[in-house]
Structure 1
């Protein structure tokens, strides 16, 4: 008999909450980079406002995703035994910390809210999320986290 895969502890109707929430902050943080670039090119202040709003929404939903992710991480010891899970969590913690700094940078006035610090922070967060997203997919597709035995991913 096959042993069950590590399971998501925070779930609704069998669907992991972490996986449902994560796309929202990822889109918000990528959108922040896009709107930062648009502001850098056009100097239209509305783009800087969009960046601040996207960062704020991304951070709020990130807090919920972190909570669900931590419940999963500490809810099944087999997840904690996977090295990839630790790297995924640490990378996301760094991206979240940089985003918190970035929201304060974006609260400054005009040009200094985006160029250069806000733009650099946004780019760093997107790069980190690319890596941690890859690792998160590895947890599901390679390690079977949150996938029932016999299900195809």
Structure 2
């Protein structure tokens, strides 16, 4: 019976390929939602059309909901797993994403205000969220370029 169980379970030395695939699939979606929310917030600030403010609120909310899974996977990769060394940039990416999510949570509460009472806080928080995520995405892209398997030898 123990031989059967060990044959079913993959060896502990093989890293999961599902978690990185899910992370790479879902991670860009919140970034797009938050960029869209920034565009909607800027449009709302200039037009005062409630449609844009409500749309931004929905984009922030959906972005936060979708951000849960990649952030949990990222937390596990950066702080819990010990299969491979985690780079300084991966840790920085974790913290920048965490700060961006905190700014987005505050932004979601700001968007719950009545009509024009959310301006300019909504724009400021959207800019902070997008800037933090942009820095994190650029840093990770540059980090991938430094990997040996990314170079053509």
User: Shorter-normalised TM-score: what interval?
Assistant: 0.7 to 0.9
Aligned partner of 1:133 in structure 2 is: 137
Root-mean-square deviation (Å): 2.1
Kept in 2, the 8 Å contact 1:10–1:16? The answer is no
Structure 1 gaps of 5+ residues are 1-8
Asked which structure has the greater CA Rg, the reply is 2
More helix by share: 2
Which of these residues, 110, 114, 139, is aligned with residue 115 of structure 2? 110
Cα offsets for 1:92-133 (capped at 9, x unmatched): 1100100000000001110012x1101000011111111000
1:35 to 28, 31, 40: 40
CA shift for structure 1 position 140: 2.5
Q: Residue by residue, what CA displacement relative to the aligned partner does 1:26-46 show, whole Å, maximum 9, x if unpaired?
A: 000000000001101110001
**TM-score computed with the length of structure 2 as normaliser:** 0.80
Runs ≥4 residues deviating over 4 A: 149-152
* Higher RCO structure, 1 or 2 (CA under 8 Å, sep 6+): 1
Residue pairs, 1:138-149, within 5 angstroms: 138-143=142-147, 149=149
Unmatched 5+ stretches in structure 2: 1-14
Contact 2:107 2:126 in 1 (8 A): yes
Secondary structure of the equivalent of 1:24? helix
Q: How many residue pairs are counted as aligned between the two chains?
A: 137
